[in-house]
Chain A
Amino acid sequence: MTGRRARRWAGAVAVVVLLVVWTRARIDGLSVDTQATNPIVRWEWVFLREDTRTELWDATLQHLRLTFIAVGAGTLISAALSAIALRLRWSLAPITAFTGFLYTIPSVALFGLLRSRFGNVMAAEVALTSYTLLVLVRNMVAGIDGVPAAVTDAADGLGLSRTRRLLTVELPLALPVIVAGLRVATVTTVGLVGITAIIQLGGLGSLIFDGFGTQYFTKIVVGSVLSVLLAVVLDLLFHGLEVLLTPWSRRPVVR
């Protein structure tokens, strides 16, 4: 187990080191004159152009902001919906149907539709939030439902109140499933944020749209790569959080 994990980390580190070395070597050979030599990625635009760094940084920050607000709001709304669904079992089916319906609306259409009613940012956040609800509610409910009946029975029998049972027993045990939902919701949202470029937002997506508009492929590649990197990093962060918060699931089972 630990051996396999160590090898995986060593592999990742090796790839990063190789990338850094390779790009360093490329940069050394660059100058503004050599523009036409690489039609796909113009490294001088990435590394030598003065405004590139601030543009990329701003785009990334906007991307992150749009993502976090959407996932944060989605988590709050989903927690409330899950609480209702768990308390009133009959409401689970309509809640799931409703969030499922939201999920099926094409994002381009929804961004455009909401924009006529709210401002750009608000339209983007409302749409992005609504897409997180299905997976978040489903995982929250499944996580709480997955707590073994014997454990909740024992909690009740020992005299824990409902609130205390939820906070100290059910939520910690449901955490891996809930975090799994958060990871999927976050990665999905990072992807969807790019599409908000059609309403003059988009974070890294605006870079991609620009690239298509001007036939400048470097921007498309850089925007895509950074967007993917962002998704991967956030996914790993959540995974790390989960590992930190669930120490009991890592100890070996001895019988």
Chain B
Amino acid sequence: MSEGSAITLAGVTKTFPGTRAPAVRSLDLTVNSGSIVVLIGPSGCGKTTTLRMINRLIEPSGGTITIGGDDVRQRSVTELRRGIGYVIQQIGLFPHRTIAQNVATVPKVLGWDRERIRARVEELVDLVGLDRDLLTRFPAELSGGQQQRVGVARALAADPPVLLMDEPFGAVDPIVRGRLQHELLDLQEKVHKTIVLVTHDIDEAVALGDKVAVLNVGGELEQYDTPDALLAKPATEFVASFLGAERSIKRLSLSRVRDLHLDGGIWVDVSAGLAGVRAAMDRSAVGWLGLVRDQRFTGWISADELAAVSALDDLDPAPPLARVSPESSLREALEIILTSHSAAAVVEDQAGHFSGLVELEAIRRGLTG
């Protein structure tokens, strides 16, 4: 995937007729093949204009845009656009076409036979997590979130290597938005498209982007970096103020619990025996200790309880209040620890296997390390 479908913008400029200041001024940007790049900035920064120049819905006034090394001006606009998926905030489903017909738009234009279109449409609705029963419905009969999934399926129909998304989740409520963002990442794991996504939501940019391009008014590229680098070291005053005051908190969303070094901590395996457990309790600074049996976290015991029993079987450990999965973000882990008033959160995978404890100190180390 060295070259593949990488997108490069070289000195791209756009000045709209009747305006003196360019909307985008001499922009250089490279989007690696198979990665998600998020364009973000205040309104008037030319992020949507930049996106729409890639599929030539807007023609640049100057500069060159290439996809996979080929200048986008080499092909006719219709041919070019059929090879680029396009998703917009207002979705723009065709209200007079059923869901199946909407998804089949580009394959039909490309002249695929009926059987191939039918198979592809079913594959796509499964891919974006829609019920096949919806295929015969009209768009107005679907919820906003379902419509947006149809929009994504329609954009992916002819399996284009490139996907352009203009504030794709801007019109749905925050809960659905979060779910759709997760689904997009899951989808990307399977399809490996080169995705350029425009948003004005910094949390969305941080959550979705492999790299984030922060644009200032007039299409000035202020910084182009990974979300973590952006949050850790904003290049300019503008970027810092745009990212907001909670940069460290936002960085927590980027790391997952499984990335932490979770060796040691205030827990012990019961195979250590009563003496071993007592020794571990002596090392615990908080007066509490977690017990693990057969790779499962059985609960918490206090120093007083431990002193009062003569055998491990007499203990009645208190079940843990805070549990996280290895896939949880550090932000989620912190939230759970704080709201449950626990010293640490238990890390368990979906099968319930224990893999360690997350303490506040581990989260702090995760940010600096």
Can you list, as one digit per residue, whether each of A166-209 has a CB less than 8 Å from chain B (1) or not (0)?
Answer: 00010011000000000000000000000000000000000000
Question: SS class of chain B's interface: helix, strand, loop or mixed?
Answer: mixed
Which residues of B sit under 8 angstroms from A251, Cβ to Cβ?
Answer: 137-138, 140-141
Residues on A lying within 8 angstroms of B by beta carbon are 148-161, 164, 169, 172-173, 246, 248, 251-255
Find out whether the CB atom of B57 lies under 8 angstroms from the CB atom of A153: yes
- The residue in chain A whose Cβ has the minimal distance to the Cβ of B102 is A154
Question: Among B77-85, B278-286, B356-364, which stretch is in contact with chain A?
Answer: B77-85
- CB-CB < 8 A to B91: which residues of A? 150, 154
Is B275 interfacial (CB-CB < 8 Å)? no
Please tell me if the beta carbons of A158 and B138 are within 8 angstroms of each other in the complex.
no
- Contact between B141 and A254, CB atoms less than 8 A apart: yes
- Interface of B with A (CB < 8 Å)? 55, 57, 77-84, 86, 88, 90-97, 105-106, 109, 137-138, 140-144, 151, 154-155, 164
A158 and B96 contacting across the interface, CB-CB below 8 Å: no
Residues on B with beta carbons closer than 8 Å to the beta carbon of A254:
141-142
User: Which of A153, A154, A155, A251 is most buried by chain B, counting CB atoms within 10 A of its CB?
Assistant: A154
A252 to B138 alpha-carbon distance, docked (Å): 10
Q: Which residues of the other chain, A, contact B83 by a CB distance below 8 angstroms?
A: 159
Asked if A248 and B95 make an inter-chain contact with CB atoms under 8 angstroms apart, the answer reads: yes
Consensus secondary structure, chain A interface:
helix
- Residues in A with CB closer than 8 Å to B82 are 158-159
Q: Which of A150, A156, A159 contacts B109 (CB 8 A)?
A: A159
The answer to whether A158 and B137 have CB atoms under 8 Å apart is: no
CA distance A159 to B86 in the complex (A): 10
Question: Of A155, A159, A160, A173, which contacts B95 at CB under 8 A?
Answer: A173
Which residues on B sit within 8 Å (CB–CB) of A252? 141
Are B86 and A164 in touch, CB under 8 angstroms?
no
> Smallest CB-CB separation from B91: which chain A residue?
A150
Given A159-B79, A159-B81, A160-B109, A153 contacting B92 (CB threshold 8 A): yes
Q: In the bound complex, do residue B93 and residue A154 qualify as a contact, i.e. CB atoms below 8 Å apart?
A: yes
> Who on chain A is nearest to B140 by CB?
A253
* Interface contact B105-A151, CB-CB below 8 Å: no
Most buried by B among A149, A151, A246, A252: A151
Q: B86 — which chain A residues lie within 8 A by C-beta?
A: 154, 157-158
